Structure 1
Amino acid sequence: MDQSTHTDLLQEIFGRPGTGPLAGVVVADLSRVLAGPYCTMLLADMGATVIKVESAAGDDARAWVPPQRDGESTFFLSVNRNKYSIALDFDDPGDLGLVEQIVARADILVENFKPGGLARWGLDYESVSAWRPDIVYASITGFGTDGGAQLPGYDLLAQALSGMMSLTGSQHGEPYRAGVALFDVITGLHAAVGVLGAHHERRASGLGQHVELNLLSSALSGLVNQTAAFVAGGTVPTRMGNEHPSLYPYEPFPARNKELVIAVGNNAQFARLCTCLGAPELAADERFATVAARNANRAQLRELMIERLAARDAEDWFERLMAVKVPCAPILGVDEGVRFAADLGLEPVAVAGTGERRIPTVRHPASFSRTPVDYGQAPPALDGDRERVLAWLAAGRPVGAVAGAAVREAS
């Protein structure tokens, strides 16, 4: 089956418009909870046909409530739009055969089982690549497949073990986790980048490869300047509350009614800030004239700024400072953040699905000028797309599925 016929068949059976940059790409999604599903949702948004293979109990995240919408976990809804669900029991030979057929038709496979967990069914990379050497196979673990293989892959553990929590919280208070599973999300992003890189390379070589990711490596990469401080500079970063280790002023400051974040990144911005505060002389003061000097004299500068900021409300300062291009922002709630993005014309909410099942979701972060993403498929009900998946498989069983079954029987 040539590529155009293949893409047409996907559109006919699954009903996607086929306009995204990944139209025609098939992803076997054997992942659950967050890092893997976030990766595969990004791919699905871009037009890939993502077959979400679940157990009879479904993705664990389906049960993670509250909060919920009409009895469904909003956690699950947040990372599973544009996918097609089929529930299969890997221990059942017939169902395992269907999994193999899905893998045989896929360009990309994404899984986040425990290291070695798929080997018992012949679905690990070594087994699959024996009969699908062209597949891009992504494995997401918590802490790798060597010394960390037995550690549970929870984001909170990665935040603790990476040093993230040692950096989060007030200087003299206790460590805190981030308010979101940050490293699950970052690992999902890294996974999407990795599989797309491997998919691109395959077009030249004709060969797939194993793309391995883990939460801890993603965490250390995601800590950027903080890990570099130690790796390159021999400095061990510590908690500084809301302050930045290399920039000042760069934190919330109390205005007359509430706090306002001010983020000064260079001397020109600082000079404009001082003028707006009615104290232009501070920009020339040797204690504050350079980035290094402001860092060394934070306490004195903070007192002088607070004294002047007390004259107006945060909203007033926000307008005044932004008018002179001084980076600043009020601290908003999530609800206010969504509304603010809408006010800027960013259209943060995208309704996924058609007909009776339409779910508000957060828009895909990338916009494409020629091959736009679409939101035609709401997050799937468990096993809700069985008939469509089976119809797609029946439209042409590839040789790879037969080879996979032979490998399994031989072992």
Structure 2
Amino acid sequence: MSLASSSPGTGPLSGVVVADFSRILAGPYCTMLLADMGATVIKVEGPDGDDTRLYKPPSVNGIGTYYLSVNRNKHSIVLDLKDPQDLETAYEIIDTADVFIENFKPGGLAQFGLDAESVAERWPQLVHASITGFGTKGGSHLPGYDLLVQGVSGFMSVTGSPDGPPQRGGVALFDVITGLHAAVAVLGALHERDISGKGQHVELDLLSAALSGLVNQTTGYAACGNDPQRLGNEHPSLFPYGPFPTADKELIITVANNSQFIRFSTVLGMPDLIRDPRFDSVENRNNNREELRVLLNGALSTETAEIWASRLQAAGVPCAPILSIPEGVQYAASLGLDPVVQVGRGDNTVPLIKNPVSYSRTPVTYEKAPPALGADTEDVKQWLRAQRKDPS
């Protein structure tokens, strides 16, 4: 990060400047990933700030952890785009930027001269990424909330118990997936710009990202008209694959091929199962899952989940307990993955979940805690003045 209040970046995107006009989750998640990789991200917020600052509980020092989760390594400046002077400052930020990211409603930026056509004309070398909920055509009027997309994409229809209602996921899954797609798209556009010397407009929407993220489920419909249903914790194409009861609690067991099934049935004391024509292939085990379930449940009921996990893991059969969020973080720590990092410096630090990417030569950094609203306004303006004096 190259602003005066920060040390020079060393990550793979060091020197890249991102004008971040996004808010809530998909855009900020994308720009946090870019910031982690060394980009200088200037987070432009309206006078009331990003809505997620107020999404609580839980909170730390009055700030919602929702906001904290996606805004580290950024510099916050408050601008009211309806104010001519602030709008000019916004233009100056974009003047310095390599990437401009926004998730305004389609058409919402035209009044400020920041629609795609105006941006392409004024900043032809800029990578402009727009994130919407449902695209810019027939769905342009629809608000882009993740839960709406979970509903209309079909995700909720395949989530939950077969005899229960459709269920939402436990996290804003498609906001995150869209943010990941946006980061990949920006990197691709920056690479192409290095070749052509020209920027381009990159468009993403939550519904398209959701349909892509539903992978085998949506492809099953597109390719052969399959209409998947809710299966609870069952897999539509694999068995055994899910939680199974033991003598004390459930244990997740995932058997995805014949080799694993042979090892699994051997540990259970039933090595001849693979020779049973009902269970001798992935497809046959799937089609005869109820008969197989009775046999497996009977064997697993003789020992505790911990004992079975030890035996199965020793035999190379994938299995895992069902943990809570705190237990999951602690489990990652026990494996040496160091999931929690202290972000910031001195007294201004906050523990956050680390970026999952590790570079061997240009590591991600955690220099700056998620900023308070407008905390970097003067630093950004001073930096802009320096840029005017030294355009290089």
Q: Tell me the CA shift for residue 59 of structure 1.
A: 0.1
Take 2:266 and 2:101, find their aligned partners in 1: how far apart are those partners?
Answer: 54
Pairing 1:226–2:217 present: yes
Alpha-carbon contact 2:2-2:40 (below 8 Å) kept: no
Equivalent residue in structure 1 for 2:241, among 250, 260, 268: 250
Pairing 1:43–2:40 present: no
Q: Which secondary structure does the structure 2 equivalent of 1:11 belong to?
A: coil
Aligned to 2:102: 111
Take 1:47 and 1:155, find their aligned partners in 2: how far apart are those partners?
Answer: 28
Aligned to 1:310: 301
Take 1:90 and 1:321, find their aligned partners in 2: how far apart are those partners?
Answer: 60
Take 2:150 and 2:89, find their aligned partners in 1: how far apart are those partners?
Answer: 37
Aligned to 1:89: 80
Q: Which secondary structure does the structure 1 equivalent of 2:387 belong to?
A: coil
Take 2:122 and 2:390, find their aligned partners in 1: how far apart are those partners?
Answer: 9
Take 2:347 and 2:377, find their aligned partners in 1: how far apart are those partners?
Answer: 19
Unaligned runs of 5+ in 2: none
Alpha-carbon contact 1:101-1:398 (below 8 Å) kept: no
TM-score (norm 2): 0.98
Take 1:282 and 1:82, find their aligned partners in 2: how far apart are those partners?
Answer: 54
- The count of residues paired between Structure 1 and Structure 2 equals 391
Pairing 1:59–2:50 present: yes
Take 1:157 and 1:81, find their aligned partners in 2: how far apart are those partners?
Answer: 27
- After superposition, where does 1:11-410 map in structure 2 within 5 Å? 11=2, 13-397=4-388
List 4+ stretches of structure 1 deviating above 3 A: none
Moved more, 23-32 or 123-132: 123-132
Deviations, residues 43-100 of structure 1 (Å, cap 9, x unaligned): 0000000000001110000011111112110000000000000001001111101000
TM-score (norm 1): 0.93
Aligned to 1:409: none
Take 2:282 and 2:164, find their aligned partners in 1: how far apart are those partners?
Answer: 27
Take 1:398 and 1:253, find their aligned partners in 2: how far apart are those partners?
Answer: 67
Alpha-carbon contact 1:221-1:227 (below 8 Å) kept: yes
Take 2:340 and 2:107, find their aligned partners in 1: how far apart are those partners?
Answer: 39
Take 2:116 and 2:337, find their aligned partners in 1: how far apart are those partners?
Answer: 40
Q: Tell me the CA shift for residue 398 of structure 1.
A: 8.5
Q: Tell me the CA shift for residue 252 of structure 1.
A: 0.5
Aligned to 1:5: none
Deviations, residues 282-309 of structure 1 (Å, cap 9, x unaligned): 1221111111110111011111111111
Moved more, 201-210 or 119-128: 119-128
Take 2:318 and 2:245, find their aligned partners in 1: how far apart are those partners?
Answer: 16
Q: Tell me the CA shift for residue 223 of structure 1.
A: 0.3
Alpha-carbon contact 2:263-2:317 (below 8 Å) kept: yes
- Assess, with a 3 A threshold, how the Cα gap between structure 1 residues 398 and 290 changes in structure 2: closer, same or farther: farther
Amino acid of the residue matched to residue 57 of structure 1?
D
Alpha-carbon contact 1:104-1:398 (below 8 Å) kept: no
Deviations, residues 27-54 of structure 1 (Å, cap 9, x unaligned): 0000000000000000000000000000
Q: Which secondary structure does the structure 2 equivalent of 1:397 belong to?
A: helix
Take 1:16 and 1:281, find their aligned partners in 2: how far apart are those partners?
Answer: 63
Aligned to 1:3: none
Alpha-carbon contact 2:246-2:297 (below 8 Å) kept: yes
Amino acid of the residue matched to residue 46 of structure 2?
S
Take 1:221 and 1:12, find their aligned partners in 2: how far apart are those partners?
Answer: 37
Alpha-carbon contact 2:159-2:232 (below 8 Å) kept: yes
Take 1:189 and 1:161, find their aligned partners in 2: how far apart are those partners?
Answer: 21
Take 1:294 and 1:262, find their aligned partners in 2: how far apart are those partners?
Answer: 14
Alpha-carbon contact 2:3-2:383 (below 8 Å) kept: no
Q: Tell me the CA shift for residue 399 of structure 1.
A: 11
Q: Percent identity?
A: 61
Alpha-carbon contact 1:105-1:398 (below 8 Å) kept: no
Q: Which secondary structure does the structure 2 equivalent of 1:252 belong to?
A: strand
Q: Tell me the CA shift for residue 16 of structure 1.
A: 3.0
Take 1:124 and 1:317, find their aligned partners in 2: how far apart are those partners?
Answer: 59
Q: Tell me the CA shift for residue 376 of structure 1.
A: 0.6
Q: Tell me the CA shift for residue 193 of structure 1.
A: 0.3
Amino acid of the residue matched to residue 57 of structure 2?
P
Unaligned runs of 5+ in 1: 1-9, 401-411
Take 1:126 and 1:188, find their aligned partners in 2: how far apart are those partners?
Answer: 23
What is the aligned-residue RMSD (CA, Å)? 1.2
